[in-house]
Chain A
Amino acid sequence: MLRYIYADQLGNYPRLANEMFTHRADQFRTRLGWDVSVDARGHERDEYDDLNPLYVIWETAEGGHGGSTRFLPTTGPVMVNDHFSHLTSSPIRSPNIWECTRFCMAPGQGANVAAALMLGGGELMNGFDVRHFVGVFDARMVRIYSRVGSSPEVLGSIGEGREQISVGLWEFQKEAQLRVAQRAGISPEISKAWFERAFGLKLAMEFAATA
């Protein structure tokens, strides 16, 4: 299932949090060789994890971390403006644009998990009037995004081949959202219900009030 968890709520999900930061170390340092910091616990964390970002996490049937990604609004500090401004024509700053970073898949997870995470991103756009996501990604992700039916538009890149790093842009499109839901094997209604639950479903409150 899809979980939407702010950093200050991660304490309620110790297994998901521990595995997410561990899998990020696996992916970004071990597999991709990025110059990221990994702490004594084997967790990959950066300064943006300290800004109380919102994580979208795929929780596997066994209750573990299947994949995750991280969101912050571009009105505050974000990676594209702080570290990759040479790839964009000017700082990207708008309440309608959120940054999406650290797209991470747990070892052994398939394209359906990548699609589920994109689906979660679409729920955020739809539910909170976000028009675009901007993100930094490596060459390998281009193929994954294309396979799940949600390719970003590249605003700028540095490096060549597998080393290439790009800043890209996503826009909410209803058709793309349905396509992504299909790839994820999740019905749009269920996805919507997970989103509603995370952000306070009215129905649940009424049940609680009468319980």
Chain B
Amino acid sequence: MRGLRNADMLETETTLERILSELEQADSLDGMQSVSEALRDYYDVDHLVYHWVDSRGDQYGCGTYSEEWQNKYVAENYLRIDPVVQGCYRRFHPVDWKRLDWSSKAAREFLRVSAEYGVGNQGISIPIRGPNGQFAMFTVNTSCDDDTWERFSEENRRDLILIAHYFNEKALEFEPERQPEQSQSLSPREVDAMTLLAIGYSRAQVANSLSISEHTLRVYIESARFKLGALNTTHAVARAMSRGLIVI
């Protein structure tokens, strides 16, 4: 991996990183809503939706489905037959809609009606397990052929899994008994690793300096990245610096 220089990092914030910064700064459901719209436009997909059930059983959501579809969904009680919900509830692996069971008559009818309301024929849903039994689901869907979808999914699935969890981290902030800053502070080892990366050390050099293997280093980076809401190491280092968590 190439060394990271301060100037590089500050100047190369991508559109996606900028949207994720907006997500990080959101302090209300409205803020999350506008991030979901920005992400839909960025990925150029039909819809992007995040939905969660908090520790008290209350449900919230944000996303780009039309009001008409949301009302229809509730009125028809589609929750009971929606194969996406059936396939994701109590799971924790990402689910491609193609792999769900759409064979029942009710599911086929649901699919037909949802298409009328602009829901895409291709989709990926990412179930999320949070602390204390919290459950959430993040979905991206669009209308396209199988090959186009396969390419989109291959290219973006990894980022989408992370983004799904960043929506969830944000939602957890709105939980009433939440301890602020609980999950965001870096451990001393994580601070060391991020600092050395920020001053341009390679991974091998960082591992060597900290007397750990590169393998172990990757776990420090992985958990720091998640705490920082970042998509990759460069992004994580930039965020740690902009938050003043590391000093170089």
Contacts and interface: CB of A to CB of B under 8 A. Distances in A.
Interface string A9-49: 00000000000000000000000000000000000000000
Interface in A141-180: 153, 155, 169, 171
Interface stretch (A55-63, A104-112, A184-192, A198-206): A198-206
Given A92-B223, A201-B99, A128 B215 contact: no
B222 A97 contact: yes
B220 A93 contact: no
Interface in B161-192: 161-162, 164-165, 168, 183, 186-190
A89 B190 CA distance: 9
Contacts of B5: none
A52 B92 CA distance: 9
B99 A200 contact: yes
Interface in A48-90: 51-52, 54, 72-73, 75-77, 89-90
Nearest to B103: A208
- What size tier do the contact residues of chain B reach? 35 or more
State which size class the interface on A falls in.
35 or more
A3 interface: no
A8 B100 contact: no
Interface stretch (B24-32, B56-64, B70-78, B123-131): B123-131
Contacts of A127: 93
A200 to B, nearest CB: 3
Contact of B223 (A93, A128, A129, A202): A93
A200 B92 contact: no
B103 A89 contact: no
- Mostly helix, strand, loop or mixed at chain A's interface? mixed
A6 B215 contact: no
Contacts of B215: 153, 169, 171
Contacts of A200: 87, 95-96, 98-101
B129 A94 contact: no
Given A6-B91, A95-B226, 10 more contacts: A72-B92, A76-B131, A89-B187, A91-B223, A94-B223, A96-B161, A97-B223, A134-B219, A169-B215, A205-B98
Interface of B: 87, 90-96, 98-103, 128-131, 133, 157-158, 161-162, 164-165, 168, 183, 186-190, 213, 215-216, 218-220, 222-223, 225-227
16 contacts: A72-B92, A76-B92, A76-B131, A92-B219, A93-B183, A93-B223, A94-B225, A94-B226, A95-B226, A96-B226, A169-B215, A171-B218, A199-B99, A200-B98, A205-B99, A208-B103
